[in-house]
Structure 1
Amino acid sequence: MGDIHNVGRTIRDARTAAGLTQRDLADLSGISERTVRAIETGTGNPALAAVAAAANTLGLRLAAS
């Protein structure tokens, strides 16, 4: 479960470093603001495609560990 929180934290840190709000990231990624919030907090069950969309928007790359 720690990995989920680490991914969310990384996405949140990249979003804030880019000066984007959760709504901005949602709009740019084509996902809902609620989904962005779920990804960043490690709650709910966001689809992998949604996590990948948010990461890609921020220039991050998901990799299996």
Structure 2
Amino acid sequence: MESVSAVAAGIRAARKEAGLTQEDLANLAETSERTIRAIETGTGNPSLRAVAAAANVLGLRLTVTR
């Protein structure tokens, strides 16, 4: 899925740009490091809440378009 890959790449790039580790982001987003790994690799089935929390911590905005 192209959109999942785009979200994964965007979150990973923003985290690295912010100088955060996956553990740091997990703590700030109040989720697990395993969930952050799943989000960044586009694998597993992280909840929308977890994805949104990670994006919010990084100052990213998730949008829904048609």
TM-score (norm 2): 0.97
Partner of 2:39: 39
Mapped to 2, the partners of 1:38 and 1:14 lie a distance apart of 16
Does 2:37 match 1:27? no
Unaligned runs of 5+ in 2: none
Letter in 2 for 1:60: L
Q: CA deviation at 1:27?
A: 0.3
Does 2:19 match 1:52? no
Does 2:7 match 1:10? no
**Across the two proteins, how many residue pairs are aligned to each other?**
65
TM-score (norm 1): 0.98
**Percent identity at matched positions?**
65
